[in-house]
Structure 1
Amino acid sequence: MFDVAVFGSLFLTLFVIMDPPGVTPIFLGLTAGRPTAVQKRMALQAVLVAGGVIALFGLTGQHILDYLHISVPALMIAGGVLLLLVALDLLTGKTDEPQQTKDVNVALVPLGMPLLAGPGAIVSVILAVEKAGDVGAQVGVWTAILAIHVVIWLVMRNSLLVVRLIKEGGVVLVTRLSGMLLAAIAVQQIINGVTQVVQGS
């Protein structure tokens, strides 16, 4: 009733794509200056949003994309543009958005989606669900999805300890660094989407 091979394959795939260690500096940069309790809540919200989006696409993803006539490259390019806008805000140090709105936006966008639940993770889950032919494989798929989200939550929650060590100046540095990393991720995602469009035409 449990396919270990399917679990291991999808878990490793999602770990590489969602990259919990790589998300840590971006999470710290996006949540800098907020109380620890708020940061912990945002970490949980982001994971729940990502898990919800991935579960939704795992169950109905291909039907949604087909119904809306959305290609995977288009999804990648849109996600890349969204991430790039957030990265520019981090790099320029914009803080003029109301605190509560920022909390909601950061937990939902870009942390929950498209940073965690990005096109790569969504497509991987859609394919894994389609390939899982028996109950054991399906259990392996959904257990892997649950496991990776637990890992991401633990990594982001424990990363808050880093803030206590690096102090305010270090947080500013991490914020700028995360902006640069996020911009690179966004540009690469756009390039990948455009490349797939060109290759498909």
Structure 2
Amino acid sequence: MIGIIEIALITFLALLPISNPFSSVPLFLSLTKGHTREWSNKQALMASIFMAGILLTFLWSGAIIIEFFGISIPAIRVAGGLIIMKVGFGMLNPKETEELSDEIKEESKTKSDISFTPLAMPSLAGPGSISVVISMAAGSDNLPGYIAISLGVLMVVLVAYLSMRGAPFISKILGVTGLDALTRIMGFILICVAFQFVLDGIGGYIESKDFLEPIIKMIKSITTS
């Protein structure tokens, strides 16, 4: 049980900064402006369900994807780390322009449903979040591990849901400056997580047969000649 809780917490701490539900608060408020509170709450619930569905699908199918394409676990960790690192630097030094264009926002305002796009995808469950769950899946080889990772994902989904439900209150308390500061802090944590992923990937490759066997063969050829 301790192992499951520990893995769930690690997943939660790794996924929360890159999903960063708090940074989606301004987007949620702008897209739900002019709509009823009941409609906004329904969109928050559906976006959370879609977010969970996207991430859990990639988590449980991660092994199939890795095996189908013949990708090694160290490669997954390094690639995932680089993607996460890019997102982290973007959060640490945000651009002046919004991630979503004004055209997309205007179109979203006229849609009857905004829960899947742009809320769930790409705001809450984008490429970075998907990279995290696939990288976590690559490091687990048993059912309890997958269950633990799933619990961590669901914990982040719960935070995302509560953030959207409480968006007006969060925006009022933190303000634009507070949300920007929180995003930068999340970005720094994300960069640290990304570096750890890359180091684990490189270390895993060095310890693997693909790296050691050629060296051993070369040493044996030198000693026998």
Q: Of the candidates 88, 95, 102, which is equivalent to residue 96 of structure 1?
A: 102
* Aligned match of 2:185: 181
Contact 2:84 2:190 in 1 (8 A): yes
TM-score (norm 1): 0.65
Which shows bigger deviation, 79-88 or 7-16? 79-88
Aligned-pair distance for 1:57?
1.0
Correspondences of 1:45-194 after superposition (within 5 Å): 45-61=50-66, 63-64=68-69, 66=71, 70-82=75-87, 84-85=89-90, 92-94=96-98, 95-99=101-105, 100=107, 104-119=117-132, 121-128=133-140, 130=141, 132=142, 138=143, 140-167=144-171, 170-185=174-189, 187-188=191-192, 191-192=195-196
Residue pair 1:83, 1:115 contacting (<8 A) in 2 also: no
Post-superposition Cα deviations, 1:153-199, rounded to whole Å, max 9, x if no partner, equal: 22221223432324568453354234423543454455456656887
What does 1:15-30 align with in structure 2 at a 5 Å threshold? 15-19=12-16, 23-30=20-27
Q: CA deviation at 1:53?
A: 1.5
Kindly provide the CA deviation profile for residues 118-174 of structure 1, in whole angstroms up to 9, marking residues without a partner as x: 43x43332222x2x2xxxxx2x23432433333222222122343232456845335
Greater C-alpha Rg: 2
CA distance in 1: counterparts of 2:85 and 2:103, whole angstroms: 22
Deviation of 1:63 after TM superposition, in Å, equals 4.9
Q: Secondary structure at the match of 1:19?
A: helix
List gaps (5 residues or longer) in structure 2: 33-39, 212-225
Report if aligned partners of 1:77, 1:190 keep a CA contact under 8 Å in 2.
yes
Q: Is the 8 A contact 1:80 1:185 kept in 2?
A: no
Whole-angstrom CA distance in 1 between matches of 2:195 and 2:9: 24
Q: How far does residue 115 in structure 1 lie from its aligned partner after superposition?
A: 4.5
Tell me the number of residue pairs that the alignment of Structure 1 and Structure 2 aligns: 186
RMSD of aligned residue pairs (Cα, Å): 3.9
Q: What's the CA shift for 1:77?
A: 0.8
Amino acid at match of 1:113: G
Pick one of 2, 10, 25 that aligns with 2:7: 10
Alignment CA distance shift 1:29-1:118 (3 Å): farther
Q: Using structure 2 for the length normalisation, give the TM-score.
A: 0.60
The 1:175/1:141 distance shift into structure 2, 3 A limit, reads same
Distance between the aligned counterparts of 1:72 and 1:127, measured in 2? 9
How much has 1:114 moved relative to structure 2?
A: 4.0
Counterpart residue identity of residue 109, structure 1: P
CA pair 176-124 structure 1, distance change in 2 beyond 3 A = same
CA shift, 1:54, in A, is 1.5
Contact 1:83 1:110 in 2 (8 A): no
Deviation at 1:86, TM superposition (A): 6.7
* Identical residues among aligned pairs (%): 11
